[in-house]
Amino acid sequence: MRKSDKKLDNQICKTLTVVCETALEHIYGFQWLTHRVDYQRFPASLKITCVFTDESDLERIRMQHEDTSLRNLISEALADIGIQLANPEAQIRFDSEDACEASHQGNWARRLG
């Protein structure tokens, strides 16, 4: 990773940490989020995964349109540091601890890889 990539990654991490803290306070069932990126294809390669406790939490946030609110929160926070997501619906996804446990025995690195 180039020095400029590392600097940008640090900015993304700080920004997403603030989003995570906000989501933990305001969205029931939200647990954590992470990102993956290939800086050779940035920003199109930026993928953010928001993790909830279980599938019922995911269904609830979709029914209450909190998924849209969380996507907007992430997109706006990234825009504040100069990163525009071309396709937030594809670049920000939702998952659950239960789904990872069921299909990947809780191995998030394998699931996200």
8: domain CATH number? 3.30.300.30
Q: Which amino acid belongs to residue 32?
A: W
Q: Which domain holds residue 68?
A: 3-112
Quick one: pLDDT band at residue 1, thresholds 50, 70, 90?
A: confident
87 dihedral zone (left: phi>0; alpha: psi -120 to 50; beta): beta
**Measured distance CA(14)–CA(53) in Å, rounded:** 23
pLDDT digits (tens, 9 = 90+) for 59-111: 999 999 999 999 999 999 999 999 999 999 999 999 999 999 999 999 999 99
Q: Looking at the 3D structure of the chain, how many domains does it have?
A: 1
Q: What is the pLDDT of residues 3-41, one digit of tens each?
A: 989 999 999 999 999 999 999 999 999 999 999 999 999
Would you say 19 and 76 are in contact if contact means Cβ atoms under 8 Å apart?
A: no
Predicted TM-score (pTM) of this structure: 0.94
Name every residue whose Cβ is closer than 8 Å to that of residue 30 and which is 6 or more positions away in sequence.
23, 24, 50, 51, 52, 57, 70
